[in-house]
Amino acid sequence: MAQYLILIYQPERAEGEAIPPEVWQQAMEAHGRFAEGVVESGGKILGGEALMPTSTATSIRGDVVTDGPFAETKEALGGFYLIEANDLDHALALGKLCPAPEGGVEVRPVMDTSGG
């Protein structure tokens, strides 16, 4: 079997707009059904996380750290690492270690989805 990464793209909510509980509930249920569907069709989920919005992202090109998501010009998403770090300083230091010589990396916090 081969491995694939499914990337989820969707519109972001406006700044400060809270997710209504019923929408959150529906999304959790939908992802639950997705997980069942994957198993039923003979596949396997190896891992998955919800990400915090792009407003919490930090990008690194070379040694230059900037606020915001990675501005793609001619680069395309080429890979990912899910890391554990103490804080953003630590995560950025690890991001700088990550080889992306002709592009850069974006460091985005993973959302804590435990307990709503």
Partner 1 sequence: MTEPHEGDGGVDHVRSAVAEAYRREWAFVLAATARVAGDIDIAEECAADAFGAALDAWLRDGIPRKPGAWLTTTARRRALDVLRREKTLRAKLPLLIEPDVDNAFGDAEEPDVIPDDRLRLVFTCCHPALAREAQVALTLRLVCGLSTAEIAQAFLVSEPTMAARVTRAKKKISAARIPYRVPGSTQLPERLDAVLTVVHLLFTTGHTAPAGDQLVRHDLVERAIGLARMLLALMPDEREVRGLLALMLLTDARRATRLDAEGRLLLLEEQDRSRWDTAAIEEGRTLVFEALRGGRPGRFVIQAAIAALHAEAPSWEVTDWRQILDLYDVLLLAWPSPVVALNRAVAVAMVDGWAAGLAEVQRLEGDPRLTGYRYLASTKADLLRRLDRPAEAVAAYREALALADNEAERRFLAGRLAEVGGPSQVM
Interacting residues with partner 1 (CB under 8 A): 15-16, 52, 55-58, 65-68, 86-89, 91-92, 107, 109, 112
Burial grade of 95 (CB within 10 A; 0-12, 13-18, 19 or more): buried
Task: Compute the least distance from the CB of residue 88 to partner 1, in Å.
Answer: 5
Least CB distance from residue 78 to partner 1, whole Å?
22
Q: Which residue number, 26 or 54, has a Cβ lying nearer to partner 1?
A: 54
Q: How far is the CB of 52 from partner 1 (least distance, A)?
A: 5
DSSP 52-86: PPGGG-EEEETTEEEESS---SS-----------S
